[in-house]
Amino acid sequence: MINSMTGYGESQGELNGITYTVEIKSVNNRYFKTNVRLPETAAFLEEDIGKLLRKNLSRGTVAYVLRPKGVSANVLFDIDEKALQVYMEKLGRVVSSADIKCPINIGGLLELPGIVQPILPDEETAEEIKKMVLSITQEAIDQLKQMRAAEGAALAADLDSYCDAIKQDLERIRARTEIVLEEYQRKLKRRIDELLADAKLKLDEETLAREVAVFADRSDISEEIARLDSHLGQFAESCRTNAQAGRRLDFISQEMLREANTIASKASDSEITRCVVDIKCQIDRIKEQVQNIE
């Protein structure tokens, strides 16, 4: 069954008094794109998280956020006191030599390069964090996949209804093709009889048959009807059997539109044209919905 590309998942876990919360959101994209946001103390996990996301998801823009809560300040960062003291001494000499009455802003000094540095966990702690974060990440991914599957089921129902409507119009067109040929033959014969009546000439039946045969060959849409019907079967089969059928369904819908356009260009009957317009409307709906499929 097909999956949507839109979903949301969330999970959390606790380690050493710190609560880690993972949020994952995904939206439509022709390709697979990730945006991973991590605190500096967990930046070493970016590659592992990216691999886990790619392993579970194939298409869409995926936004990943990891938020630690309950973290004390001395665990998050450290201040290089020696570097800060050097900055203050140099600024103090500048202020005194230039006779400037300006207090030194400690807050501003903390923003200078090298003053505030993140504290990276040791190897053992990093391994514990990695194990726990990847575990809750998988839980969040599973939630997201469940939502994508539920939305995919709703999309499949909509697509089935559109395909059924196309099949009904195809049946009308198929039933109309023979009638169109007979009507053309009657109209052509009547028109020629009217033109030849004054000259008291009789229409050659062989000539009429030849003209009807030329019209039948030029307006024959049986092949296009068969191909469009085949595309509908392939479309339905892909929806049932392929969870990541988005690109394939997009291609099939383009081929469906191609056949519908050919039928419209070859048909010379207003009722068939109306049916083709309805078919193209349904295909447009299909193409729009397919953009949401993984």
Q: How far is the C-alpha of 155 from the C-alpha of 210, rounded, in Å?
A: 50
Specify the pLDDT at position 30.
87
Specify the pLDDT at position 73.
45
Which residue, 140, 108, 180, 145, is CA-closest to 22? 140
Least confident piece of the model among 27-36, 119-128, 223-232:
119-128
User: What average pLDDT does range 116-127 have in this prediction?
Assistant: 73
Length of the chain (residues): 294
pLDDT digits (tens, 9 = 90+) for 150-195: 999 999 999 999 999 999 999 888 888 776 656 555 665 556 555 5
Binned at pLDDT 50, 70 and 90, residue 102 comes out as: low
User: What average pLDDT does range 113-140 have in this prediction?
Assistant: 82
User: What average pLDDT does range 64-86 have in this prediction?
Assistant: 69
Residue with tokens 């006191």: 81
Binned at pLDDT 50, 70 and 90, residue 43 comes out as: confident
Specify the pLDDT at position 264.
83
Sheet holding 18-27, edge to edge: 7-15, 18-27, 60-69, 32-37
pTM score, whole prediction: 0.71
Least confident piece of the model among 61-70, 97-106, 224-233:
97-106
The structure tokens listed for 41 are 């103390």
Output the 3-class SS for 238-282: HHHHCCCCHHHHHHHHHHHHHHHHHHHHHCCCHHHHHHHHHHHHH
Residue 25 has pLDDT above 90, yes or no: yes
Specify the pLDDT at position 158.
93
Specify the pLDDT at position 185.
56
Binned at pLDDT 50, 70 and 90, residue 125 comes out as: confident
DSSP secondary structure, 79-139, as one string = E-HHHHHHHHHHHHHHHHHTT------HHHHTTSTTTEEE----HHHHHHHHHHHHHHHHH
Which is more confident, 201 or 278?
A: 278
Burial 268-280 (b: 16+ CB within 10 A, else e): ebeebeebbebbb
Phi, psi of 40 (to 5 degrees): -60, -30
Which residue, 209, 48, 196, is CA-closest to 132? 48
Which is more confident, 72 or 65?
A: 65
Q: How far is the C-alpha of 177 from the C-alpha of 43, rounded, in Å?
A: 66
Burial 74-99 (b: 16+ CB within 10 A, else e): ebeeeeeeebbeebeeeeeeeeeeee
- Give the CB-side neighbour count of residue 78, counting CA atoms within 13 A: 9
Residue 217 has pLDDT above 60, yes or no: no
Binned at pLDDT 50, 70 and 90, residue 250 comes out as: very high
The residue type at 253: S
Mean pLDDT of the chain: 81
Least confident piece of the model among 9-13, 160-164, 166-170, 271-275:
271-275
Specify the pLDDT at position 56.
94
Binned at pLDDT 50, 70 and 90, residue 65 comes out as: very high
pLDDT digits (tens, 9 = 90+) for 83-95: 667 767 777 776 6
Q: How far is CA 194 from the centre of its chain?
A: 60
What burial class does residue 23 get, using C-beta atoms within 10 Å of its C-beta: 0-12 exposed, 13-18 middle, 19+ buried? middle
The structure tokens listed for 218 are 């030029």
CB atoms within 10 A of CB 245: 22
Q: How far is the C-alpha of 223 from the C-alpha of 262, rounded, in Å?
A: 10
Coil, helix or strand at residue 24: strand
Which is more confident, 125 or 232?
A: 232
Which is more confident, 99 or 261?
A: 261
Residue with tokens 């501003």: 108
DSSP state of 292: T
